């Protein structure tokens, strides 16, 4: 009888121990699931905030064309063009940007296209480009100017590049043959050497771009000043100007 009671007690105790172990395992499993769920929610919130921040940052990582002007020189079968563009970001420098120029005829067919390359576009600055493109004797209908720069080529800047170059003593005059000349000086007041450097003259009439010409200044060491002079050989191929703007590009 005593043996039966002892055996019964042993079975009950074993059942309680097994039940207790099962309950503990279930609790541990629930705790682990809750921890994993919490970590997943944290990761979702973190990823969402990162995506929101990235979208905000990337929305400012772009170049915009803000003004254009072009004229066809039928005699020499070329299109003369000038444009102004801007790096909208005030925190990110755009490295190796390009402006793709595409020329179309009245049927929408591409006559010609080319890309103008720049070393970089400083944060928050306006730049300009000018050039010509062969039109193969065809009549130009429209021209598009498209900025080309990878998002990975935008880099955060820790220093201000605005005002790194100072332009002074600018002047324009016409020679005996009726061609305009543009002169001036560029001073490097930045904390580093700057190269290469081009001066873009944007000619306007009634605040509209009518032409452009470039002058190559070269390299400027810290604190140095260089003079520039350039002439618009194609002045007779586009309307006259009543004002001009100077842009420095690298």
pLDDT at 20 > cutoff 70 = no
- Per-residue DSSP letters for 175-192? -TTS-EEEEEEEEE-SSS
End-to-end CA distance of the chain: 104
Q: How far apart are CA 112 and CA 11, in angstroms?
A: 93
Sorting pLDDT into bands at 50, 70 and 90, what band is 154? Answer: confident
Q: How far apart are CA 203 and CA 195, in angstroms?
A: 25
Where is pLDDT greater, at 132 or 156?
A: 132
As beta bridge partners, residue 231 has 181
Where is pLDDT greater, at 156 or 187?
A: 187
> For residue 244, how many C-alpha atoms fall within 13 Å in the half-sphere facing its CB?
24
- Condensed to tens digits (0 to 9), the pLDDT of residues 37-69 reads 666 776 765 655 444 444 444 545 689 999 999
Q: How far apart are CA 100 and CA 84, in angstroms?
A: 13
Q: What is the pLDDT of residue 3?
A: 52
- Condensed to tens digits (0 to 9), the pLDDT of residues 94-133 reads 888 999 999 999 999 999 999 999 988 888 889 999 999 9
pLDDT at 10 > cutoff 80 = no
Where is pLDDT greater, at 232 or 27?
A: 232
Mean pLDDT, range 164-171, rounded to an integer: 89
Backbone angles phi, psi at 103, to 5 degrees: -110, 130
Q: What is the pLDDT of residue 55?
A: 47
Query: What 3-state DSSP class applies to 22?
Result: helix
Q: How far apart are CA 63 and CA 65, in angstroms?
A: 7
Mean pLDDT, range 75-90, rounded to an integer: 93
Q: What is the pLDDT of residue 163?
A: 59
Q: What is the pLDDT of residue 223?
A: 84
**Looking at 27-36, 109-118, 170-179, which range is the least confident one?**
27-36
Percent of the chain exceeding pLDDT 90 equals 48
């Amino acid at each position: 009888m005593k043996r039966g009671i002892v055996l019964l007690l042993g079975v009950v105790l074993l059942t309680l121990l097994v039940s207790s172990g099962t309950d503990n395992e279930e609790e541990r499993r629930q705790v682990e699931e809750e921890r994993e769920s919490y970590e997943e929610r944290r990761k979702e919130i973190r990823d969402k905030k990162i995506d929101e921040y990235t979208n905000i940052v990337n929305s400012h990582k772009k170049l915009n064309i803000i003004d254009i002007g072009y004229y066809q020189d039928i005699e020499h079968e070329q299109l003369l063009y000038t444009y102004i563009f801007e790096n909208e970001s005030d925190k990110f420098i755009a490295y190796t940007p390009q402006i793709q120029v595409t020329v179309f005829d009245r049927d929408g067919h591409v006559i010609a296209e080319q890309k103008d390359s720049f070393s970089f576009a400083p944060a928050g600055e306006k730049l300009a480009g000018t050039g010509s493109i062969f039109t193969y004797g065809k009549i130009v209908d429209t021209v598009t100017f498209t900025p080309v720069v990878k998002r990975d080529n935008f880099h955060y800047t820790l220093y201000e590049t605005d005002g790194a170059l100072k332009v002074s003593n600018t002047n324009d005059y016409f020679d005996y043959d009726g061609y305009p000349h543009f002169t001036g000086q560029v001073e490097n007041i930045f904390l580093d050497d700057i190269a290469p450097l081009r001066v873009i003259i944007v000619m306007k009439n009634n605040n509209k771009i009518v032409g452009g010409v470039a002058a190559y200044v070269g390299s400027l060491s810290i604190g140095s000043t260089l003079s520039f002079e350039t002439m618009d050989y194609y002045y007779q191929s586009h309307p006259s100007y009543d004002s001009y703007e100077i842009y420095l590009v690298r």
